[in-house]
Structure 1
């Protein structure tokens, strides 16, 4: 290869804004044409590919691209308010437009939602959602709209969340959930359930969230992104209500089901933080390797690593220092209440370490080691630890010391059996979920490899399967 050829290869092609807009419009046209194929074949997987392709051009959406799509695909009644929402003028060319497919109509509404959200035009977006998009969705009852409706409801709820107006949207979400349940629209129902739970959690209405969970049944055969968020919210609610064992199972399931891609890193980080706190509240201590997970920056989990170290050592001073240092981080993660509950665990761990180290120790020395205020506080804490079974000891109130009893053989208790049963249940659950998630390739006998149509169907099948996997991560 000559020097001139290598220099030509290294030259990057710089596209003009007009060329970028043209490429974006072509990609949008190709994606929207798949919707027609969905209507003709009743195959929902083409909608997955359409949404996947449109998400990839989200950052390139602008007024020029959207105005072209609105003017080309929609009729005059819909054009007017959408063009007004993006501050664009109608096209001077009058085109005779027949009946517009509801799928194309709502998909373009969804693209306008994405554009206004990225431009931070929240008031305009909220007006568009309330006055036009929600009434438009209520007009149709088509199975091919299930995935599009789920996407649109997500961004309607997200708009209200950014406007700090959580209560006003609840009635619409509950009504939409009832309608989608009656229509057996599993994807929209699953998405709406997670949105309602998130609404309750953000407003700290955990009792209402718990009552809501008892009255609904989460649908089956929904995308893994929706399912993982549902389990995460279950873990959050149960952890606040002191059901730590159930909460830990839910958060581990959420981490396992979440897409392991770059788009889902924010969700995975939140799930990792919650799992650390729940595991500490159950009395266990995460391993150090848990904080060195690939793909998660170490500084993100550093506040929770310091808290874990304080609980492991039973050092109340280190716990208070870490809580004061990272208090704003815990508030931003909405985990401050769970972190503050760990103070009793720190004290219990410290008492357990002391009881293992000393057969007999004075209450004054316990105050010094645990940084407590007075001996009466230490006596109360030790009494509570004895009552809860944290330590096996007795208090001499007259002489002011505690004396540990002889340790029994751990293997003579029921603890090993309970731990073994817990691990068996986890492995069985993992096996059942893995079997249900398996996707089997088409039968070799049914493939028509001798015709061009057979090859095209095979390529379409592969593309649709890739779209299914990519869209799960895009939902985050």
Structure 2
């Protein structure tokens, strides 16, 4: 039994007489430091307490709710003043104080990320997105945290991390489709096309049945965009974007859609590297339907800079020479990077093992797992975007 459950049990058991109240007061004084550390976790347990019976214990729990309420009112005020930047530092401080650990997602996380988005304080927001979350008080907080976090990563063009967060929204347990999941799925499609050059409409088997059945129906224009993208024909894709422009604009996704269009040029150039060793800028422009060799050169140079292709350009004759990946995976920097990734995976593995052991003893989980066993096998592979790319 953890400290929070122990406290609630003591409050329920020591609230019937003056002697009990005195004993409870002593107990709560002794547990003061632990209560402060675990304060955010008390919120979900308020429903187990009756203010008329457990007034002493309830008052300690209520202060957490008051802190959250004050912080949310504060956020509403800076929003009303159209000055979200003024609330970022204070909200981050509140988040850190309410957290029992860096793995704990509080109800203030989404509020903080929303302020960061509105004030374009992306780097500040990214500071909380680096934490691995294992404890969540309310499901809605997780949906909003991952959705806002995905938008923030998109703003910084950290598409791999954005895919991971949006994937979490789309595959999170849900009994019915919610608006957050629908909007996340739209962006998930677009970011997949931009970053990976493809999109699969098949959700993993562990995604909720509600998501499996309904998400595609709410996102048909985006599904059709992905289908058009897969043909590799830029003219057809441009035509479709123009005919559906109003829909994308009303969803506030037109900027991402334009990036999808731009990424098709890159994908088509990358395909050329698999066929040719050398090619003129004029041929590249003709093949991928760019307006001029100069425009082709700009795309190639940007892709070289971003590490998306390896090539050299001869300015005299306008020829592009495609090269092999020069990375030999034997530099000190690469070894450190690999070692860091391995260490992180080992730490995550330990945490997962601990969580698995705890869940294996939970009667409610065991009962549900027995009912759900036929839905999927543990051999089904996860399609979550990989986080440990080397």
TM interval, shorter chain, is: 0.5 to 0.7
1:366 aligned partner: 284
1:238 aligned partner: 153
State the 1:433 CA deviation.
4.8
Check the 8 A contact 1:269/1:296 in 2, yes or no: no
State the 1:294 CA deviation.
0.8
1:9-88 equivalences in 2 (<5 Å): 40=12, 47-48=46-47
Check the 8 A contact 1:312/1:349 in 2, yes or no: no
1:457 aligned partner: none
| Structure in which a larger fraction of residues adopt helix | 1
Distance (Å, rounded) in 2 between the aligned partners of 1:48 and 1:167: 36
State the TM-score, normalized to the length of structure 1. Answer: 0.48
Structure number with the bigger relative contact order (C-alpha 8 A, sep ≥ 6) is 1
Distance (Å, rounded) in 2 between the aligned partners of 1:274 and 1:168: 27
Deviations 1:446-474 (A, max 9, x none): xxxxxxxxxxxxxxx97xx99xxxxxxxx
Distance (Å, rounded) in 2 between the aligned partners of 1:348 and 1:217: 29
1:341 aligned partner: 259
State the 1:346 CA deviation.
1.4
State the 1:211 CA deviation.
2.3
Task: List runs of 5+ in structure 1 lacking aligned partners.
Answer: 1-36, 51-99, 105-139, 443-460, 467-476
Check the 8 A contact 1:240/1:338 in 2, yes or no: no
State the 1:343 CA deviation.
3.7
> Partner of 1:259: helix, strand, or coil?
coil
From 181, 188, 194, give the equivalent of 2:110: 194
Q: 1:404 to 1:246 in 2, by over 3 A?
A: closer
Distance (Å, rounded) in 1 between the aligned partners of 2:105 and 2:328: 46
Deviations 1:244-267 (A, max 9, x none): 3333343344555x33321x5322
1:278 aligned partner: 191
Distance (Å, rounded) in 2 between the aligned partners of 1:424 and 1:279: 28
Q: 1:273 to 1:192 in 2, by over 3 A?
A: same
Distance (Å, rounded) in 1 between the aligned partners of 2:90 and 2:314: 63
> Partner of 2:80: helix, strand, or coil?
coil
Do structure 1's residue 268 and structure 2's residue 178 form an aligned pair? no
Deviations 1:198-240 (A, max 9, x none): 2442x3x222x53256489989844152244323322321221
Task: List runs of 5+ in structure 2 lacking aligned partners.
Answer: 1-8, 15-41, 206-210, 369-390
Aligned residues: 316
State the TM-score, normalized to the length of structure 2. Answer: 0.57
Distance (Å, rounded) in 2 between the aligned partners of 1:431 and 1:255: 26
Distance (Å, rounded) in 1 between the aligned partners of 2:285 and 2:305: 19
2:21 aligned partner: none
Deviations 1:85-129 (A, max 9, x none): xxxxxxxxxxxxxxx86999xxxxxxxxxxxxxxxxxxxxxxxxx
Distance (Å, rounded) in 1 between the aligned partners of 2:220 and 2:329: 36
Q: 1:301 to 1:39 in 2, by over 3 A?
A: same
Distance (Å, rounded) in 2 between the aligned partners of 1:427 and 1:228: 27
Of stretches 164-173 and 367-376 in structure 1, the one that deviates more from structure 2 is: 164-173
Q: 1:217 to 1:353 in 2, by over 3 A?
A: closer
Highest CA radius of gyration, 1 or 2? 1
1:436 aligned partner: 355
1:259 aligned partner: 173
Do structure 1's residue 289 and structure 2's residue 202 form an aligned pair? yes
> Partner of 1:296: helix, strand, or coil?
helix
1:375 aligned partner: 293
1:452-463 equivalences in 2 (<5 Å): none
Distance (Å, rounded) in 2 between the aligned partners of 1:290 and 1:374: 40
Check the 8 A contact 2:197/2:267 in 1, yes or no: no
